[in-house]
Amino acid sequence: MTVIGLISGTSYDAVDAAAARMRLEGDTLFLVPLGLYSVPIPAPLRERIAAALPPHHTTVDEICRLDTAIGQLFGSVAAEANTALTGGAADLLSSHGQTVYHWVEGRTALGTLQLGEPAWIAEASGLPVVSGLRSRDITRGGQGAPLASLLDALFVLGGDRTAGSLNLGGIANITVWSNTGEVVAYDIGPASALMDRAVADATGGRERMDRDGVRAARGRVNAELLTVLLTEPYYRLLPPKSTGKELFHAGYTRAMVGERDVPLDDLLATLTELTAVLVARSCREHGVRRLFVAGGGTRNPALMGRIRALTAPARVREFDDLGVPAQGKEAYTMAVIGFLTAHGLPATIPSATGAAGSSILGCLTPGAAPLRLPEPARSLPSRIAIAAA
């Protein structure tokens, strides 16, 4: 089966589509990566998404309009990716959509909302769509996150109890082995979310990010502010746990800075250090000696440099070394989830999400043809192997 995974992350800067041809043989899921196709989200739509996120107030009217606009964008990306990556041979789409709210109280996730109506995607592409990927896990007491924990467990960790898998998007999340021999995964805290917001605020929106970490590299860490940032109660919660821009929102950093005079470069150096400190804490706690990193944060040399320095002597490598592009990890994860759902297989690890049991994820929207699913698979794969085309 050839599946295209679709996602826009917490930075809502682009829609990523990754295509993979997969087959299940025994306990191994063989995956042939067919490429990554990425389309920037137009600036007006990005601004509307930002305006709908907490702590801003929005309306049901705007949520409906965004659901349509995002669905239409995902649909056009899906159709283009099917042509560009598979020559029109895809069998299924698996869409994460755009998260606009993740409802968490303490350590309990109570709901989640991803926009991007799948009917628009199915209509534009003619393909069936798996969507609504997080909610089923939440109904079973899980966090609905990080969904990448399954791919991490089967592809990165394997039986190596010293391996860890880190994703640096708007939020940083990690998958590791616990001291009791279970796979655990959780959101560590902010990665680019606070940095991007700081740049946008300071430049009046003229710049969206600290490109290549240049500003952070020439800034100096404000030790007093870093100490204040590290008092965030979320960091003291035990996993499983998840978070998002509901907590690390547009006004979060301003509130933490308060009346302090912190130049932008120093602020970015401090926020970079915050992420690196949190990553290093997790690695030390779980005995990580090999850390594989994916996500947009891999393109920030300042951030990667501080992570390498603070996690030493652990060896830090990028996801590309495993045969999957670092920028496409989450989209490939969505493709794997779609494949498993179509074959009647669960795509969650209860110890990672905190759920009472594993779940088959998502809802199915038919494409242009009658919906035909493969025969249910007999067992869940225990590993993912990259196969040649």
Task: State the Cα–Cα distance between residues 176 and 156, nearest whole angstrom.
Answer: 10
The residues, ordered by sequence, that sit 6+ positions from 312 with a Cβ below 8 Å of its Cβ are none
Axis crossing angle, helix 301-311 with helix 264-285, rounded to the nearest 10: 40
Quick one: how far is CA 91 from the chain centroid? 24
Task: State the Cα–Cα distance between residues 120 and 108, nearest whole angstrom.
Answer: 32
127 DSSP assignment: S
In single-letter form, the type of residue at position 257 comes to: V
pLDDT at residue 106 in the model:
87
Task: State the Cα–Cα distance between residues 164 and 157, nearest whole angstrom.
Answer: 6
Q: Are 311 and 291 in contact (CB under 8 A)?
A: yes
- Topology alike, domains 2-147+327-386 and 150-322: yes
End-to-end CA distance of the chain: 13
State the CB neighbour count (10 A cutoff) for residue 260: 12
Q: Which sequence spans correspond to the domains of the chain? A: 2-147+327-386, 150-322
- Given a cut of 50, the residues of the chain with pLDDT beneath it are none
pLDDT at residue 107 in the model:
87
CA atoms within 13 A on the CB side of 375: 3
* pLDDT single digits (tens) 168-186: 999 999 999 999 999 999 9
As beta bridge partners, residue 315 has 290
Does 3.30.420.40 match the CATH number of domain 150-322? yes
In single-letter form, the type of residue at position 57 comes to: H
CATH domain 2-147+327-386 topology: Nucleotidyltransferase; domain 5 (3.30.420)
Of 127, 146, 151, which Cα lies nearest the Cα of 3? 127
Residue 196's alpha-carbon distances to 42, 212, 247, in angstroms, are 17, 12, 15
Say whether pTM exceeds 0.75: yes
pLDDT at residue 205 in the model:
86
Of 146, 205, 153, 171, which Cα lies nearest the Cα of 297? 171
Q: What is the CA radius of gyration of the chain?
A: 20
Phi-psi region of 201 (alpha: psi -120 to 50; beta: other; left: phi over 0): alpha
